[in-house]
Amino acid sequence: MGSSASKFSKTVVGNETHKSARNILEGFAKDIKGKASSDAEKHAYSLKGNLKDAKFNHDFFKIKSDMPGNPCYLDFAFHSNTPGGEKQYRHPCARSMNKNLFNLEGAVCTNSKIKGNEEKINGAGACAPYRRRHICDLNLEHIDVHNVQNIHDLLGNVLVTAKYEGESIVEKHPNRGSSEVCTALARSFADIGDIIRGRDMFLGNNETDKEQKVKLEKNLKNIFKKIYEELREEQTKRKGAKPKNGRAQIEARYKKDEEDGNYYQLREDWWTANRDQVWKALTCFADGSEEYFIQSENNTQLFSNPKCGHEQGNVPTNLDYVPQFLRWFDEWADEF
């Protein structure tokens, strides 16, 4: 997971141009990401999580409660709220151990499993890729307001998901040493972002899975409600400190959130403030030969730092600001 020597020969990307779908989507999302970052900047200092301050509500956490600063050293056996004692059943990928990224029969397009498809004509809606259907998020199904007390706890849980989802992609990718590994990671990164922000279109593989996803969304709403209340209270205590009228600014920005209870704006701002840490966790297992690649309009090939930009401090992709159904369509075109 560290900066060890590359195990694979670097492979140059094939026939991508600036007009290739993913590159167009990257460019399309660049301005959206810029605006989201600018809008959230005023509140980023209050929403930026610190992994070392995260806590988990499991007896095993007491054994290893000294939190690492580097997400690559997270261990689901200790850093999880998933109940039970048997390690293999608590792994974030426990239901996805046999995940095959390129299972051609693995995508689903049925109305009952994709949010919004019921409004389409003749079933011409979005199709969830096999990768999304088996994302490693078992640990997220066990978060609630009792074991996630603040922005730090939430970050810890999301980083555990990201680390092991990244491992599952990297270890099973058929084209190691190529930028395709980083592209697959970017797609899961964006899907994790959609889950946290309440935008995920995938309803579940079966009735049990659907119930878990409904529960997760409900718990995320409650968690962000608690974060909002603490954020507002924190501003109340900052009398005389900058920014002035902090509570009024918080209430104005998240007025709709408080009214509808979805907290979409707060969730967006939290993601914007913490996405760099999620990317770092997701790329823990990437090889030094694997770099994220974008073909720009002026025919410039833009590559991230090694390990998909693991150490470069900023996220090299904008795909988390592209609507999910467009990303899935691009992925479908690439893989099928």
Q: What is d(CA 225, CA 227) in angstroms, rounded to the nearest whole number?
A: 5
235 by DSSP, 3-state: which?
A: helix
For residue 170 the two structure tokens come to 């990297």
Structure confidence at residue 121 (pLDDT):
44
If we measure between CA atoms, which residue out of 176, 190, 169 comes closest to residue 26? 190
- Taking the chain (336 residues) in consecutive chunks of 10 residues, what is each chunk's mean pLDDT? 57 56 74 78 86 94 91 96 90 79 59 62 68 94 96 98 97 88 95 98 91 97 97 77 72 95 97 97 94 70 83 92 91 73
Whether omega before 83 lies within 30 degrees of 0, making that bond cis, reads no
What's the pLDDT at 279?
Answer: 98
Which domains, ranges and CATH numbers included, belong to the chain? 21-335 (1.20.1310.20)
The pLDDT tens digits of the residues spanning 34-82 come to 778 777 777 778 899 999 999 999 889 888 889 999 999 999 999 999 9
| pTM across the whole model | 0.88
Whose tokens are 């401090």? That residue is 313
Residue 256: C-alpha distances to residues 9, 100, 184, 267 (Å): 51, 41, 34, 12
CA distance 210 to 203: 6
| CB atoms inside a 10 Å sphere around CB 8 | 14
CA dihedral 160, 57, 94, 212 (to 10 degrees): -100
CA 210 to chain centre: 19
Q: What is the pLDDT of residue 239?
A: 58
pLDDT in tens, 70-123: 999 999 999 999 998 888 899 999 987 666 665 545 557 666 666 765 555 455
pLDDT of residue 24: 75
- Residues 17, 288 contacting (CB under 8 angstroms): no
Give the model's pLDDT for residue 38.
Answer: 78
Q: Which residue has the tokens 């109305």?
A: 111
